[in-house]
Amino acid sequence: MKTIGILTSGGDSPGMNAAVRAVTRAAINRGIRVMGIRRGYSGLISGDIFEMDVRSVSDIIHRGGTVLYTARSEEFKTEEGMQKAIQTCKEFGIEGVVVIGGDGSFRGASDLSARGIPCVGLPGTIDNDVGCSDYTIGFDTAINTVIAMVDRLRDTAQSHDRCSVVEVMGRRAGYIALEAGIAVGASAILVPEVPYDIENDVLKRMEKISKTGKKHFIIIVAEGLEITDKLTEIIAERTQMNTRSTVLGHVQRGGSPTGYDRVMASRMGYHAVELLSQGIGNRVVAFKDSKIVDFDVQQALSMHKEFPVELYKMAYEISI
């Protein structure tokens, strides 16, 4: 392979830049030209593409967001859009593409691979909701951002004897809620993957914990449940506690990536180039059982990861 393209697609995540850097440098080291594609599949359709060199990716390893910009492209999902993208690849001599994004982006990568442009996907999303991988680039930074924000909320909740209900991102998944919830010692964590009962898992629990002298509470709710406002009302009404809710929102997507995200993004980016340089495409790079591996895209998309219910139970036992 003489020329590859690289793009970031879907929601940005901290560490995407570290992956872009690793892909660019590993490819150039192997004598492969690298084309940066701006704004995901939209840039592949419109030809918003530039050649990268080793210095194009200087000073980005520590930056959040993505220097390649990102987008969601409806046009790319149509056959016409796909054909335009293939035409662009031909014009720029792009023989393979590294796609950094989530499951939606991998579906696009699979479609492109099936039409003769081998693609390798890297899991880049704060949600950690990619079935084939135990970890996704940006998840670690997002958890640490949530922890930093909730630590601040705890200061004020504690000072006022309040209950703080905090909604975190994750789309339909509860990984951010679970891990951040454990790390901040939340009194209750509500996620889409585990059935819950507000009466027992929140209200009675708060009542019981109050009896041991606790006067402030942190409750973490995954956005996918869409219950934050209602839950806040119920807690306020039933416990008579001064209760406030905070939706953390897009702050969770930004910020300088943690060391873990930088190292993992570098390893995954390097692995993607090892595959493409051998002409291997239609793969998704993953972190499984502490190893960097890769899967066929269709297999990757059909894989389901078990939610760590044992961690959830542990959190309930120790946050009392």
Ligand X SMILES: Nc1ncnc2c1ncn2[C@@H]1O[C@H](COP(=O)(O)OP(=O)(O)OP(=O)(O)O)[C@@H](O)[C@H]1O
Ligand Y SMILES: O=P(O)(O)OC[C@H]1O[C@](O)(CO)[C@@H](O)[C@@H]1O
Which residues are documented as binding site for substrate? 125-127, 162, 169-171, 223, 244, 250-253
Q: Does 107 bind ligand Y (CB under 6 A)?
A: no
Binders in 87-116 for Mg ion, by CB under 5 A: 102-104
Decide: 98 and 26 in contact? Cβ < 8 Å.
Answer: no
Site string for ligand Y, 246-285 (x = CB under 6 A): -------x--------------------------------
From the annotation, which residues make up the binding site for Mg(2+)? 103
Residues 6+ apart with CB under 8 A from 167: 221, 222, 223, 228, 245, 246, 247, 248
Name which of Mg ion, ligand X, ligand Y, none residue 253 binds, using a CB cut-off of 5 to 8 Å depending on partner kind: ligand Y
Query: In the set 48, 95, 127, 261, which binds ligand Y (CB under 6 A)?
Result: 127
Tell me the closest approach of the beta carbon of residue 98 to ligand Y, in angstroms.
19
Q: Does 167 bind ligand Y (CB under 6 A)?
A: no
Q: Does 11 bind ligand Y (CB under 6 A)?
A: yes
Question: 237-240 — which CB contacts under 8 Å span 24+ positions?
Answer: 238/203, 239/163, 239/203, 239/206, 239/207, 239/210
β-strand partners of 244: 164
Closest among 258, 264, 320, 257 to 291, alpha carbons compared: 264
Query: In the set 77, 160, 238, 244, which binds ligand X (CB under 6 A)?
Result: 77
Question: How is residue 199 annotated by DSSP?
Answer: I
Binders in 116-135 for ligand X, by CB under 6 A: 125, 127
The single residue of 12, 48, 111, 127 carrying the catalytic annotation is 127
Residue 313 Ramachandran class (φ > 0 left, ψ -120 to 50 alpha, else beta): alpha
Q: Does 126 bind ligand Y (CB under 6 A)?
A: yes
Distance of CA 9 to the CA centre of its chain: 12
β-strand partners of 247: 167
Question: Which window, 101-109, 177-185, 234-242, 304-312, contacts ligand X (CB under 6 A)?
Answer: 101-109
Q: Which two tokens stand for residue 131?
A: 């079935």
171/244 with CB nearer ligand X: 171
Q: Could you give the CA distance from residue 145 to residue 126 in angstroms, rounded to a whole number?
A: 11
Tell me the closest approach of the beta carbon of residue 127 to ligand Y, in angstroms.
5
Q: Does 125 bind ligand Y (CB under 6 A)?
A: yes
Q: Could you give the CA distance from residue 12 to residue 15 in angstroms, rounded to a whole number?
A: 9
52/173 with CB nearer ligand X: 173
Tell me the closest approach of the beta carbon of residue 230 to Mg ion, in angstroms.
26
Residues designated as active site: 127
Q: List residues near ligand Y by CB under 6 A.
A: 11, 125-127, 169-171, 223, 253
